[in-house]
Amino acid sequence: MKHFIKVVTWSLLAILFAIQTTISFALPNPEENPWPKKIENDKGKVIIYQPQVESYSGDKLEARAAVSVTTPEVTAPVFGAMWFDCRVSTDKDERTVELLDMTVSAAKFPDSNEDDVEKLIAFLEKEIPKFDLIISLDRLLASLEMEEGGSSTAPGFDNSPPEIIYTTKPSVLIIIDGDPILVDTDTKGYQSVVNTPFFIAKDTKKDTYYIKGGDNWYSSTNPKAGWTNIKNPPKEVKKLAEADMEKDEPPTEETTEAPAEDGPVIIPEIFVRTTPAELLQSNGEPEYMPIDETTLLYMNNSDSDIILDIRTQEYYILIAGRWYKSSSLTDNDWTYLKPDELPEEFKKIPDNSEMAVIKSSVAGTQEAKEAVLENQIPQTAEINREDATLEVSYDGDPQYDYIEGTSMKYAVNTDKSVLLINDKYYCCDNATWFMSNNATGPWEVCVEVPDEVQDIPPESPVYNVKYVYVYDYTPSVVYVGYTPGYVYSYSYMGCVYYGTGYYYRPWYGSYYYPRPVTYGFGVHYNPYSGWGFSFTASRGWFSVSVHSNSRGYWGPAGYRHGYHRGYNNGYRHGYRRGASAGYRAGYNQGQRNSANNNVYKNRSNGVARTGGQTYNPKTGQQLSRDTRQNNTTRQTPQKANKANNVYADKNGNVYKKDGNNWQKQENGKWKDASTTDRTKTDRQNKQTRDAGKQTNQNVDRSKNQAATRQQQPNQNVNRSTSQKSNYDNLNRDASSRNRGTQRSTSYQQNR
């Protein structure tokens, strides 16, 4: 029997429960952006091979690329290298990076005479900036140099384990943010709990609480325990639940077919917690399967990441990017492990294993390195300074608390991130900075973020705004961007974590404003879809609306639904894993056809361009392709239909990868690189030796001259070492390019 999971997204209100993926992929066809690319007109033709990145910071990229050029004056293809600078526009939904405002900073054509070189360079400098090139984000990531482990020290996160509940029965974890806060409803004698995303109501006369989960109802006289399933709740409670769901903002729904599951519908058990907690569960008693080539077992009948090391009989679990270990699943005596403290066996997990998905959280693996790299890539946008507007509402008069360890303050009684710095007010809203002289506005787009923002510690609920940047600006446009830290994805010791681990006290007055949370929603990282969460229920269990005296906008920020553990109007046995390129079907199914995750697309005005799309900054409406073409003179390169195997070294020499061998372009021909480079080195060495002999004939044999001669062999060694280093760089570039192609292909196959 088939059933369906609804993948639902709401607009990003405040900073919580954006049911999206921090780094979600709506993947392009790998053939849509192939390299090399061809630029051709009546002035000549250029074949541009895939760029080799030299530096990437913010929205600025510097790179070099091998090129071949023909012009009316130079009719035979001439190979060379060009260096260029550009601004980038990232589109993480489509997994692309657009190279904008390209400027050719240098070019080299080793086999051309000086006159031809000047003509070729002039052609490149004039024609290249007319085109906007697009490269796959996965190709770009693979080409970046890896900074060792990202952050080498803990950025002050709280990694102490939450309460970890393990059960072998179908169960749901109900999170209440602290002790229940009850408010009166429009129905006399009934109250509702506002500090939870779940519908919980209280009959004040009977002193009884009710929970609605999907089509199931539960009751208890104690909101923290003792919940039992009931068939017929009071009609007043039913009406309250219906009215509450109607208050939710209308979602944009995408439906994904879940794996077929057989067996009877089972009513899940309820766990209610008022402090941070996570739920691990298996379908019955644990069943383990070996991970090939390791001493590890994984729990096969659970969609939680639970691993047993048979050598030590210790359990390892992965929660929100953090590893915890224990000798027991049920004693709740878990200990936090730094990413580099895992047993070496974790690095040996094969790429085609059911559990290969966890290698993104194993420091030192290629998957972890790429996850950290991706965590450094910004989502960019152009904000129209005139059309972008902001309104900030407070629950009463503005109230501010100090940010610990700084002189800054932040507003506590609003759903916006408002900072008070040096008597100026700054608000970060949907990854765009605004500033004002007054707490209530008027607000204008900020063109320079105070340096103090980078001093905000993770203990503060506004910690995430330090990951939103202003790169540049003109009189009409501000170039901005945010890295995944804005939606709570952080790099630490070679891996990525979700959330800071801290508990932040919410605001409750006339309105309830929740704060970011780390635990309670099964947050996990998947290399094919980024962060998601394995919430233990379908949408019918909870609400995400913001209302006066009602439940708040609640849950983990930046996330969409993950796999719901089979709950859709009840629990159905038969959760099935599946291995395809190293990820599990349960994760994949709940995240396929994901909703938009670009925060800038939540703005109703001011965004002129983001994610490869152009918008009307006044209305926020995306412009049609025809409209964009009519408003731009930019051109799109053509496919060159050539192998993407040509590279430029850092000196501008051009090489071609031919199987395991390298060929070098010399005198208009491809020649075996080992022969040509060895001949060149021998020639240089001979010139050095001849110079030494001539010196010996014409000067006295002083100690200084002897020392000079003794240095000559070292010079020869240095040349040989330099040549080896050059090949090491070329091989690394080739390996990275192949890896990028594999990433694009894998993501496309498993989207």
Taken in order 344, 348, 353, 359, the sign of the CA dihedral is positive
Collect all residues with Cβ–Cβ distance below 8 Å to 140 and sequence separation of at least 6.
Answer: 53, 56, 97, 377, 740
Same domain, 345 and 239: yes
Same domain, 253 and 176: yes
Domain presence at residue 725: yes
Domain presence at residue 522: yes
Domain presence at residue 320: yes
d(CA 163, CA 332): 7
Same domain, 447 and 387: yes
Same domain, 244 and 343: yes
pLDDT of residue 569: 32
Question: Residue 625 belongs to what H/E stretch?
Answer: helix 625-630
pLDDT of residue 291: 97
C-alpha distance from residue 130 to each of 135, 650, 688 (Å) = 16, 25, 46
Same domain, 333 and 418: no
Same domain, 431 and 553: no
Work out how many domains the chain is built from and give that number. Answer: 3
pLDDT of residue 534: 67
Same domain, 506 and 474: no
Is the peptide bond prior to 475 cis by the omega test (within 30 degrees of 0)? no
pLDDT of residue 430: 92
**What's the whole-model pTM score?**
0.81
DSSP string over 21-52: -TT---PPPGGGS-SSEEEEETTEEEEEPPPE
Domain presence at residue 303: yes
Going from the first residue of the chain to its last (751 residues), give the mean pLDDT of each consecutive group of 10, the final group possibly shorter: 29 31 39 81 91 92 94 86 93 87 90 82 86 88 64 73 96 93 94 92 96 91 93 94 71 40 74 96 96 97 95 97 97 94 97 93 93 91 92 97 97 97 97 97 96 97 97 95 94 93 94 92 82 61 42 40 30 32 33 52 68 51 45 69 93 92 92 71 48 43 36 40 79 90 74 61
Same domain, 282 and 388: no
Phi-psi domain of 620 (left: phi exceeds 0; alpha: psi -120 through 50; beta: other): left
Q: How many residues does the chain have?
A: 751
Same domain, 476 and 505: no
Domain presence at residue 325: yes
pLDDT of residue 594: 33
Same domain, 475 and 511: no
Domain presence at residue 252: yes
Domain presence at residue 387: yes
pLDDT of residue 262: 54
Same domain, 193 and 326: yes
Domain around 285: 1-28+169-350+497-574+584-598
Same domain, 198 and 339: yes
Domain presence at residue 608: no
Q: What interhelical angle do 673-698 and 703-749 show, nearest 10?
A: 170
Beta carbons of 558 and 525 less than 8 angstroms apart: no
